[in-house]
């Protein structure tokens, strides 16, 4: 039994050795394939220049894709090339809100400029803090600082200015111009700026200072001509 054991063991060992060689060759082949793939990927990363034909085909592909995208957008119910479509109302609301904010900012500036002149003496023909103000000069100074289209210089010219919106007394808002006839000559000869709550600021006449007056008083109601909205 001992004599037979040697040859049998040898015969069984030989296939194991061959199998190991086969496995080693497969491993080496896989490694070679992997190295080749890594080399190809590295070559692509380094940016190998494309041929003119490849560049032309790529441009054609991108152009076709853009045309396809445009066709899809054109079929959308809220989209038309060059037109806002369903978003137009939203844009109009945004513009209106912006316009209101700008108008409110201008109004605050106007009221600040007016109130900073309170107590200064009336000066006929005056239109600056240094020389003083008459009634229309005060309005001219306060408003034209924030307006692109300037107001005229005299009270009656402001009253007759067709660019300004006519306003009923019961609908007065802060910043509206209010006009009076004091001397019983045709047209407006006095102007003030409405401040709200029945009050307005004015440069009254020689001997008095710029002040806040009450529109509801009998004196002013009897001489009231109308109002115009600037902002």
Tell me the C-alpha distance between 205 and 222, whole Å. Answer: 18
Asked if residues 177 and 228 have their Cβ atoms less than 8 Å apart, the reply is yes
* Residue 131 among the catalytic residues: no
**Spatial distance between the Cα atoms of 188 and 164, rounded to a whole number of angstroms:** 15
Residue with tokens 């060689």: 21
190 given a catalytic annotation: yes
Identify the active-site residue in 26, 80, 145, 190: 190
Cα separation, 2 vs 168, in Å, equals 131
Q: Is 171 a catalytic residue?
A: no
Give how far the C-alpha of residue 61 lies from the chain's centroid of Cα atoms, to the nearest Å: 37
CA distance 183 to 117: 25
Provide, for the chain, the percentages of residues in helix, strand and coil under a 3-state DSSP scheme, each rounded to the nearest 5: 55, 15, 30
Catalytic-role residue among 130, 135, 148, 197 = 135
Q: Which residues are catalytic?
A: 135, 190, 202
């Amino acid at each position: 039994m001992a004599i037979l054991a040697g040859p049998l063991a040898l015969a069984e060992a030989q296939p194991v050795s061959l199998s190991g060689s086969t496995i080693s060759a497969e491993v080496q082949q896989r490694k070679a394939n992997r190295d080749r793939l890594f080399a190809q990927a590295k070559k692509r990363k380094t940016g190998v220049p494309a041929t003119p034909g490849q560049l032309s085909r790529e441009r054609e592909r991108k152009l076709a894709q853009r045309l396809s995208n445009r066709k899809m957008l054109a079929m959308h119910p809220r989209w038309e090339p060059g037109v806002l479509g369903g978003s137009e109302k939203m844009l109009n609301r945004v513009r209106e809100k912006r316009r209101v904010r700008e108008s409110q900012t201008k109004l605050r500036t106007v009221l600040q400029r007016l109130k900073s002149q309170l107590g200064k003496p009336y000066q006929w023909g005056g239109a600056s803090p240094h020389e003083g103000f008459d009634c229309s000069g005060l309005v001219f100074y306060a408003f034209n600082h924030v307006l692109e289209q300037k107001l005229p210089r005299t009270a009656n010219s402001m009253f007759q200015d067709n660019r300004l919106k006519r306003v009923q007394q019961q609908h007065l808002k802060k910043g509206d111009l209010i006009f009076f006839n004091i001397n019983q000559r045709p047209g407006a000869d006095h102007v003030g700026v409405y401040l709200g709550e029945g009050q307005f600021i004015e440069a009254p006449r020689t001997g008095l200072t710029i002040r806040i007056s009450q529109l509801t008083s009998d004196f002013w109601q009897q001489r009231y001509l109308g109002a115009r909205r600037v902002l």
